[in-house]
Amino acid sequence: MKLSKRRKWIPAGYISSGLLLATVMVTGCGAPDADFRANEAYLTLQENKVGELGTRRESIKQNIEDVLTGLYGTPDEPHLLSVDGLSDVVEIENLQIAAGPTGSIDEAGARRGLYREHCAHCHGITGDGRGPTAEFLNPYPRDYRLGVYKFKSTTGKMPPTRDDLKKTLVEGIPGTAMPSFRLLNGFELDALVDYVRYLSIRGETERALIDYAVELEDDQNVLWNIADEAQQTEAKEAVEEMVADVVAKYVAAHDNRIPVPAPPENWETAESIARGRELFAGPIANCIKCHGLTALGDGVVNDYDDWTKEFFDPNAPGGRETFAELYGSTHAVMKPRPIRPRNLRMNVFRGGRRPVDLYWRLANGIVGTPMPAVPIKAEDAPEEDPRLVSDDVWHIIAYVRNLPYEDISEPAPLPKYQRKRH
């Protein structure tokens, strides 16, 4: 989606550190200044693609930091430029409540600092998933900077809606360290939802800036030089485009929700469960490939999620060396941990256990993980089209929901074409 070209800009340099200090309303006495952490790992990854940046690396880093501060402010004082759509997807009043040091209050005496109080020790101040507790957890806390979310009602890689994120905060993510924040007030949850979006949008912009910066010619090592009027126009337009592209997805998210047809009439009857069992092991859904014939999650178990694979792909040429470089020099990445297919007999569903949650999971897969979407055909598709129909998805759900009640010795029957191999 293209947004209108009319956007107002404040160049990064206007936000001098002196001005910032003067406007900071924070009263968290003695709290050390918090900074956003640069995405060193992604910069190194992109640098490896174009060749050594040498001395330019530091100036690129500094320049990106300046541009990002101009666009989004700091952890204590968030700020948003008036880019079309941005103020609809995140509200500055919400960001102000969520930002700031733990226990701080604003001029009117209202509490701030919610993100650092409740989230940062796992997700990190930057939202890079690298807070102090992170390395002890499995799965790791989410790195929001990729803008990729698992548990949502939107299609493909579209970001989650506000309601999706709110549900994640209210319910937590069962079976992981991510707790429920049910006890917070509605407005506090809204503030945190917007803050997560803000960190994602900032992180995605940073990635786009890195992509752009490493491609610049040697003599163009300043991405957005506010002192140079001529260059400013061109570079500014490029940055505008980047932000607009990121924001557009969030604007579109709500209108791109996964359609959920009603379940068939015989849903969750013995017949429906039996059909689900057959499909689970069948060639199209092929759930047994990863979840195993017993659904205990013991199929393909040596795979990784996208947050890990970006930096550690043991099968890619040089994959292990790249990881060793990132891990060894800057500690900019976490130790890779394989992602396990779920044991479906446990009755623990991270994205929620309502039928509709499971329908979303199957119809869209779990983005960022190996769990694929079930191939679903349109109602009017020809009979011979091998893909499944939505009724089939509901039968698979009936089977999955019944698994915890089932005797373990009742695995799905293998389809004929696979019987010999086992």
Say if residues 297 and 286 touch (Cβ distance below 8 Å).
Answer: no
Distance CA 121, CA 173 (A): 17
Q: Which is nearer to ligand HEC, 112 or 291 (CB)?
A: 291
291 binds ligand HEC per the rule CB under 6 A? yes
304 part of the interface to ligand HEC, by CB under 6 A: no
Measure the CA–CA gap between 197 and 422, rounded to whole angstroms.
46
Give the separation between CA 113 and CA 103, rounded to whole angstroms: 6
What is the C-alpha to C-alpha distance for residues 137 and 387, in angstroms, rounded to an integer? Answer: 38
Which residue of 26, 92, 105, 177 would you call a contact of ligand HEC, by CB under 6 A? 177
Which residues, 338 to 377, sit near ligand HEC by CB under 6 A? Answer: 339, 341-342, 344, 349-351, 358, 361-362, 366, 369-372, 374
The encoded tokens of residue 34 equal 């918090």
Site string for ligand HEC, 90-129 (x = CB under 6 A): ----------------------------xx--xx------
- Contact between 141 and ligand HEC by CB under 6 A: the answer reads yes
**The Cα angle at residue 417 between residues 415 and 422, in degrees rounded to 5:** 80
The smaller minimum CB distance to ligand HEC, of residues 21 and 300, is found at 300
Q: Which of 119, 137, 147 is nearest to 42 (CA)?
A: 147
- Write down the least CB distance from residue 220 to ligand HEC, Å: 37
Does the protein bind ligand HEC through residue 300 (CB under 6 A)? yes
275 touches ligand HEC by CB under 6 A: no
Which one, of 405, 404, 391, 403, lies nearest residue 359 by Cα? 391
Query: What distance in Å separates the CA atoms of residue 83 and residue 70, rounded to the nearest whole number?
Result: 13
Q: Is 34 in the site for ligand HEC (CB under 6 A)?
A: no
* Least separation in angstroms between CB 320 and ligand HEC: 22
List the one residue from 150, 162, 249, 401 that touches ligand HEC (CB under 6 A): 150
Q: Does 281 bind ligand HEC (CB under 6 A)?
A: no
Amino acid at 10: I
On whether the CB atoms of residues 68 and 239 are closer than 8 A, the answer is no
In angstroms, rounded to a whole number, what is the distance separating the alpha carbons of residues 285 and 156?
18
User: Which residues contact ligand HEC (rule: CB under 6 A)?
Assistant: 118-119, 122-123, 133, 137, 139, 141-142, 149-152, 160, 165, 168-169, 173, 176-179, 181, 192, 196, 285-287, 289-291, 300, 339, 341-342, 344, 349-351, 358, 361-362, 366, 369-372, 374, 396, 400
